[in-house]
Amino acid sequence: MSDKIFEAGIVPGRLPTEAYGTQFADLHAPLDAHEALVAADRCYFCYDAPCITACPTDIDIPLFIRQIATGTPDAAAKTILTQNILGGMCARVCPTETLCEEACVREAAEGKPVLIGQLQRYATDHLQAQGKHPFTRAASTGKSVGVVGAGPAGLSAAHRLAMLGHDVVIYDARAKPGGLNEYGIAAYKTVDGFAQAEVDWLMQIGGIEFRHNTALGREITLDGLKEQHDAVFLGMGLGGVNALGAPGDDKQGVAHAVDFIAELRQSSDLSSLPIGRDVVVIGGGMTAVDAAVQAKLLGALNVTLVYRRGRDRMNASVFEQDLAASKGVRIVTHAVPREVHGNGSVREIEFEYVDDQMQPTGETLRLPADQVFRAIGQTLTGDGLPDLDGRKIKVDAMGRTSVERVWAGGDCAAGGEDLTVTAVAEGRDAAMDMHKVLST
């Protein structure tokens, strides 16, 4: 390993150039055909399978695994994609260990579930590698739908609406579609440009126009969209980032974890990305873990993830926590930031320990830091939005908002878990309800 790793400050190239490819290699190597058959053979093909109930998109998991076992992976892919059009990405990033695989009968009996996520990836990759799109667009209805946000919820809604014959325009604030899948997920979870390849494949359905660099409240308004379209779906995610709320938060070297991840994901040369020697990430969710692990993979000597509650309260799964620890990330719990120290640039960050009721214990911790990433949640931004439920858009079970002909889903909508797979389900279900309304 290069001696550069011991340099202080935020600098690029802490590792030898050739090391970055290895550091950011695919987290889970894909199954080959033989491995997929062996894995599929472990499924009991349960009647009333608990794994289906545990899947937010209700994929018929025993059916698609049986289709793999009988040598028809493309049929398996269609079974998956009928329910989850972003099944390829979800196979890579979905916390299967706490959803379908945790519910697997094999997990309960043996502590080793069927590899549902990897089998889903095998089937969807097999189909998409051939450039096949298993769905055809219905005859045009003459209806137009505006979709705000090209993330999982928006893409899911757009595909289902286009498949049903509606004309769809997707508006997104960024230059490329994909949302969280493109900008917000660790690079080692989705390698080789898969996020964009999946979007390109999805768009083969036809009837979808993408307008980039177009943000709600900036280039477009909700009222304007309602005038242009017969219905509107809001799936723009959460654009704002919560502040640290501690003195010194504005010092150089303190940044948002989501911006760090986005910059990394869009970089064509990881050796050019500057990273600190001593990095502190504040938060307990997937974003915090993704930022901490990638900081370590970029060559940071010390990376500490600090969360205000216990590990059992972290939104990041146990698998993600263990992954961070295995990469050398130190996890500190029951600590809240009190002050960022330094003369212009961060040099230390001070924490105060708290108990389970978030009451101070009187003990403090000071960590050396030349780079601090905030991963303490995001907030909804924008004016003229439908009624809110707390800090998100209020919706009913089908995604309808308080505004007529406007639906919402994904992270910007209240009620659901902040997961890619949940966003896909909400976009799909809202699209079906929109189709019902537009057809009457």
Domains within the chain, CATH numbers bracketed: 33-128 (1.10.1060.10), 144-238+380-438 (3.50.50.60), 241-378 (3.50.50.60)
Is residue 4 scored above 70 in pLDDT?
A: no
Kindly state the average pLDDT of the residues 220-249.
Answer: 95
Distance CA 251, CA 240 (A): 19
| Cα pseudo-dihedral 327, 333, 338, 341, rounded to 10 | -20
Q: What is the pLDDT of residues 401-410, one digit of tens each?
A: 999 999 999 9
pLDDT of residue 418: 85
Closest to 51 measured CA to CA, from 87, 100, 91: 100
Question: If 0-12 CB within 10 Å is exposed, 13-18 middle and 19+ buried, where does residue 111 land?
Answer: exposed
Q: What is the pLDDT of residues 322-358, one digit of tens each?
A: 999 999 999 999 999 999 999 999 999 999 999 999 9
Kindly state the average pLDDT of the residues 14-38.
Answer: 96
Q: What is the pLDDT of residues 271-302, one digit of tens each?
A: 999 999 999 999 999 999 999 999 999 999 99
pLDDT of residue 236: 96
Is residue 253 scored above 90 in pLDDT?
A: yes
pLDDT of residue 230: 98
pLDDT of residue 150: 98
Distance CA 59, CA 367 (A): 45
**pLDDT classification of 239: cutoffs 50, 70, 90:** confident
Cα 124 off chain centre by? 18
pLDDT of residue 5: 52
**pLDDT classification of 7: cutoffs 50, 70, 90:** confident
Q: What is the pLDDT of residues 195-225, one digit of tens each?
A: 999 999 999 999 999 999 999 999 999 999 9
Question: If 0-12 CB within 10 Å is exposed, 13-18 middle and 19+ buried, where does residue 401 land?
Answer: buried
Kindly state the average pLDDT of the residues 73-79.
Answer: 98
**pLDDT classification of 415: cutoffs 50, 70, 90:** confident
Is residue 6 scored above 70 in pLDDT?
A: no
**pLDDT classification of 382: cutoffs 50, 70, 90:** confident
CB burial readout 407-435, b (16+ within 10 A) else e: bbbbbbbebbebbbbbbbbbbbbbbebbb
Question: Tokens at residue 103, please?
Answer: 């519910």
Q: What is the pLDDT of residues 118-162, one digit of tens each?
A: 999 999 999 999 998 999 999 999 999 999 999 999 999 999 999
pLDDT of residue 285: 95
Distance CA 337, CA 339 (A): 6
**pLDDT classification of 1: cutoffs 50, 70, 90:** very low
Average pLDDT value over all residues in the chain:
96
pTM over 0.75: yes
